[in-house]
Homo-oligomer: A and B are copies of this chain.
Amino acid sequence: MSFENLFSKRATAIKSSVIREILKVTARPEVISFAGGLPSDASFPVPQLKAAFEKVLNDAPQAALQYSTTDGYAPLREWVASEKSKLGATITPDQVIIVSGSQQALDLIGKVFINEGDKVLVETPTYLGALQAFELFFPEFVSVASDEEGLDAAQLTAEQAQGAKFLYALPNFQNPTGRLMTEARRQALVAKAREYNLLVVEDDPYGELWYTAAPPPSLLSRMPERVIQMGSFSKILAPGLRLGYIVAPVEIARKFEQVKQATDLHTATLTQRAVYEVVKDGFLDEHIPNIRKLYHAQAQAMLGALEQYMPKSVTWNQPAGGMFLWLRLPAGVDSEAILKTALARNVAYVPGVPFYANEPARNTMRLAFVTVPEDKIREGVKVLGEVFGG
């Protein structure tokens, strides 16, 4: 039996993530990979998670293993609301929906807002996983001008904003570039969103991972009436748990709840309760500074190696937090074409192209640096310097 003619238009159109395909190639142990987007497993709080799962299964096994409500475990939603209220705007628990990882939040956002052909505004470049999630619903992506300081709302025209369902932004240490949206740019975005009556999706998995100074206040804290914020426990606890949340205006939160019910009923009860046990008494206040210190050291190793080994024609940014930086080869050089040469010498990265919704800058690439030991960072960057300089 052939199934080609049975697949939906979206299933026919979908392609595997370029990154996942590269990761398959780079699974060989001799490869130094700057390609993956994985957090460092040295940051996982194993004893705390072990104790939490044990405690929940001791104290409330029946409730923890039974079906539960679609919006999520009430104490965890209350915890999120309380955390998010610390920056000023009051967030209530009925604005919070617990999700099975941030990627599911993207799927729910696509389902709740996007009809075929609807306009969605994105950064240039933007997170590949968001493009993939939204593409299942056939939006028309409009790339908003962006640079080292993040999305540049001053260049967002009324025509671009007209009819847009939402603007998708990653203000903190963006995947893929690692850039941070400045205070001025945030103010400009808030002003433009109000002027154009725009809904803004703020994706913030990396905001806590700053090196020396916290980022400016979130978009959510500045205009909670028109921001959907996505958060995740993947980078501050562990991604294998698949746990995240959405904060949204109540009317939108109720829609997410209805759509999530049809999508997966609810997020794993046991996991929600265990994570609540881990976070409820302030553990993250002692834990996250350790991740910051580790990632800062990794970033410094990467920046030092780039300084030492890259030819003068290559440029990159200085991330102030997160897991990535963005490298530019000379104009006209194609980072996809050159990847083969790097892979042949056992070093991997992700070319910039798949992160662009529209016209890509083919000379760009993402370098991830938090999982590679410092000596391997130097070794890998040395090879890349030779490949790019050769």
Q: Interface on A for B, CB 8 Å cutoff?
A: 1, 3, 6-11, 14-17, 20, 37-39, 41, 44, 46, 49-50, 53-54, 57-58, 61-68, 70, 100-101, 103-104, 107, 111-115, 118, 129, 132-133, 135-137, 165-166, 197, 199, 225-226, 234, 238-242, 249, 251-252, 255, 258-259, 261-271
For residue A269, which residue of chain B has the nearest CB? B240
Instruction: Assess A61 versus B46: contact at CB under 8 Å? Given A20-B261, A199-B3.
Output: yes
Provide the main secondary structure of the chain A interface: helix
Q: Closest CB of chain B to A57's CB: distance in Å?
A: 4
Q: Closest CB of chain B to A220's CB: distance in Å?
A: 14
Is the beta-carbon distance between B111 and A10 smaller than 8 angstroms? Answer: yes
Is the beta-carbon distance between A241 and B258 smaller than 8 angstroms? Answer: no
For residue A134, which residue of chain B has the nearest CB? B262
Copies in the complex: 2
Q: In the bound complex, how far is the Cα of B272 from the Cα of A271, in angstroms?
A: 12
For residue A2, which residue of chain B has the nearest CB? B251
Is the beta-carbon distance between B271 and A112 smaller than 8 angstroms? Answer: no
Is the beta-carbon distance between B132 and A1 smaller than 8 angstroms? Answer: no
Contact of A111 among B58, B66, B136, B255 (CB under 8 A): B136
A sample of 13 inter-chain contacts (CB < 8 A) reads A1-B225, A6-B113, A10-B111, A16-B258, A44-B62, A46-B57, A50-B61, A54-B54, A63-B240, A67-B239, A68-B240, A136-B263, A242-B267
For residue A242, which residue of chain B has the nearest CB? B268
Is the beta-carbon distance between A255 and B1 smaller than 8 angstroms? Answer: no
